[in-house]
Amino acid sequence: MKEFFRRRKTSFTTGGQSEGNPVPDDMWVKCSACRELVYKKELTDNLKVCPKCGHHMRMSAHEWIGLLDAGSFSEMDTNLLPTDPLGFVSLGESYAEKLAKSQQRTGMPDAILSGVGMIGGRHLALAVGDFAFMGASMGSVYGEKLSRAAERAADLGIPLLTINTSGGARQQEGVIALMQMAKVTMALTRLAEVGQPHIALMVDPCYGGVTASYPSVADVIIAEPGANIGFAGKRLIEQIMRQKLPAGFQTAEFMLDHGMIDMVVERNQLPATIGRLIRLYGTRRDPSERRDPVEQMISAITYP
Whole-number minimum distance, CB 4 to another protein, in Å? Answer: 18
- Using a 10 angstrom Cβ sphere, with 0-12 exposed, 13-18 middle and 19 or more buried, the burial of residue 193 is exposed
E strand or H helix at 142: helix 140-156
> Does 211 interact with another protein (rule: CB under 8 A)?
yes
For residue 264, state whether it binds another protein (rule: CB under 8 A): no
Q: Least Å distance between CB 197 and another protein?
A: 15
Candidates 55, 56, 58, 183; binder of another protein (CB under 8 A) is 183
| Tally of CB atoms within 10 A around 225 | 16
- Residue 247 φ then ψ, to 5°: -60, 145
User: What is residue 69's DSSP assignment?
Assistant: S
Q: Rounded to 10 degrees, what is the CA torsion of 117, 16, 130, 153?
A: 0
User: What distance in Å separates the CA atoms of residue 222 and residue 233, rounded to the nearest whole number?
Assistant: 20
Q: What mask of x and - would describe binding to another protein in positions 213 to 232, judged by CB under 8 A?
A: xxxxx-----------xxxx
Binding part of the chain for another protein, among 21-29, 113-121, 155-163, 234-242 by CB under 8 A, reads 234-242
Least distance CB 77 / another protein (angstroms): 9
Closest CA to 282 of 120, 67, 154, 122: 122
CB 180 within 8 Å of CB 140: yes
In which element (H, E) is residue 34 found? Answer: none
Q: Applying CB under 8 A, does 96 fall inside the site for another protein?
A: no
Which contacts of 26-32 are long-range, i.e. CB under 8 A and separated by 24 or more positions? 31/55, 31/57, 32/57
Identify the residue among 51, 54, 85, 271 touching another protein (CB under 8 A). 85
Q: How far is the CB of 89 from another protein (least distance, A)?
A: 5
| 166 counts as binding another protein under rule CB under 8 A | no
Min separation Cβ 299 and another protein, Å = 27
Residue 288: partners with Cβ closer than 8 Å, 6 or more residues away: 195
Please state the closest distance from residue 233 (CB atom) to another protein, in A: 8
- Residue 171 as a binder of another protein (CB under 8 A): the answer is yes
Nearer to another protein, 72 or 196 (CB): 196
Q: Does 144 bind another protein (CB under 8 A)?
A: yes
Residue 141 or 277: which CB sits closer to another protein?
141
Least Cα distance to 125 among 264, 283, 4 occurs for: 4
Of the candidate residues 13, 243, 269, 299, the single one contacting another protein (CB under 8 A): 243
Under the criterion CB under 8 A, does residue 195 sit at the interface with another protein? Answer: no
Binding site for another protein (CB under 8 A): 79-83, 85-86, 88-92, 140-141, 143-144, 147, 169-183, 185-187, 189, 208-209, 211-217, 229-232, 236-237, 240-241, 243, 245, 249-250, 258-260
